[in-house]
Amino acid sequence: MIDKNIGFIGLGNVGSKLANSLLLAKYNLFIHDIDKNVGKKLIKKGAIWNNSIREIIYNSSIIITCLPSPKSVRDVIEKKNGILTFITKDHLWIEMSTTDEHEMIRLSKLIEKKGANVLEAPVTGGQHKAESGNISIFAGGKRKIFNRALPILSKIGFRILYCGKIGNASTLKVVTNFLASVNLLSLGEALMVCKKYGVKLNTAFQGIKISSGNSFVHETESQVILNGSYDIGFTMDLVCKDVNLFEKTSKKMRIPTEISPLLVRVFKHGKKKYGNKSFSTSIVKILEDKCGISLRAKGFPSKLKDLEKRKNGIEIKS
C-alpha cells in the first residue's frame, strides 16, 4: 500500500517541523490543531487545513499525532468526534508524542479493535534536528506496520530504531529524556564550578566537549545557556511531564531510584519559580540565582541550528 495522503494533528514547536518535512517530501498533507494560527506557515507551503478530526481521517490513510501530553493524546483519540469515532481498517495511526506507555498500550488496543493499525514513533534530538529532518525516531509496534510506516518516517528523521512491541518506544523515549534532564542539571553545576574557580567558560565548554564528560546535551543546551537565551525550544512543563513519567515507570517496576525523585523535585521547583512555558534549560538559573553569578560567555548562539544537510532516513539495527 502506498500512502500519499497524511493527516497531521498537533503543530507545536516540534510537530510543525515534522509536518514540514512531509511537505518537502511531496506528500499530500492535511493538518489540524486547536489553534489554526500555528498552521499558517504550513498552509502557505501547500498543506491543507482541516477543521476537524473527521476531515483529517476522511482525507488521509495515515494519521500522525504530535501532542504535548498524555491527556492531549487521550482527548484526540477518545473525545466525541475524535479519531476513534471515525478511524477504519485502512488507516494507520502514528503517535509521535512523548507519552505514557500504559496509555499508549491502552489506546492502541482501542484503535486495533476498529481494525486500524498503530505505531508509536516518538522523536528525539531536539527542535533543531526536527527542523533539519535529521531527528532520531524510536518506533514500536508490529514489524509489518513499521515497514509500512518506514518510507514516511525516513522523510521525517534520519536514524530510525525499531524497538519491538507497543510501549517499548515510549519507555525508551522517557528514559532518554530522563538522562538528558540529569545531564542538564549536572552541566549547570559543572559550569558553575569552573566559573567560580576562574576557568573561562569558553575554555570549560571546549574542555568538556573534548573529554569523557562530553554529551549531546552539552554540545547543544550548554550553548544556549552560555548565550543567556536558554532557547532550546523545550519548556518546563514538558520536562516535568517527562521526568514524572520516568518516576511513574520506575515505581511501577519497583525500582528504588534515588536520582529520579530528586529530579522531579528540582524541576517542579523550577516550573513554579519560572513558569510552565519557561525553557527547560532555565533550570540552571536556580543555581545562578543562589550564587549570584551568570554563566555567560561570548561566541555562543541564541538558538541552535543543525548545520548537517538533510539526509534520507535509515533504520538502525539493534
The predicted structure's pLDDT at residue 138 = 98
Model pTM score: 0.95
Express each pLDDT in 237-285 by its tens digit. 999 999 999 999 999 999 999 999 999 999 999 999 999 999 999 999 9
CATH of 5-170+307-316, one of 3.40.1440.10, 3.60.130.10, 3.40.50.720, 3.40.50.1360: 3.40.50.720
Q: 297 Cβ partners below 8 Å, 6+ apart?
A: 200, 201, 202, 205, 226
The predicted structure's pLDDT at residue 1 = 60
Express each pLDDT in 116-173 by its tens digit. 999 999 999 999 999 999 999 999 999 999 999 999 999 999 999 999 999 999 999 9
Flag whether pLDDT at 31 surpasses 90.
yes
The predicted structure's pLDDT at residue 88 = 96
Q: Mean pLDDT across the stretch 2-24? A: 96
Task: Please name the fold of domain 171-291.
Answer: N-(1-d-carboxylethyl)-l-norvaline Dehydrogenase; domain 2 (1.10.1040)
What is the domain partition of the chain in residue ranges? 5-170+307-316, 171-291
The mean pLDDT value of the chain amounts to: 97
The predicted structure's pLDDT at residue 2 = 77
30: pLDDT confidence band, cut at 50, 70 and 90? very high
Express each pLDDT in 296-305 by its tens digit. 999 999 999 9
Same fold, 5-170+307-316 and 171-291: no
For 106, other C-beta atoms within 10 Å of its C-beta total: 14
Express each pLDDT in 163-218 by its tens digit. 999 999 999 999 999 999 999 999 999 999 999 999 999 999 999 999 999 999 99
Are 222 and 191 a contacting pair, CB within 8 Å?
yes
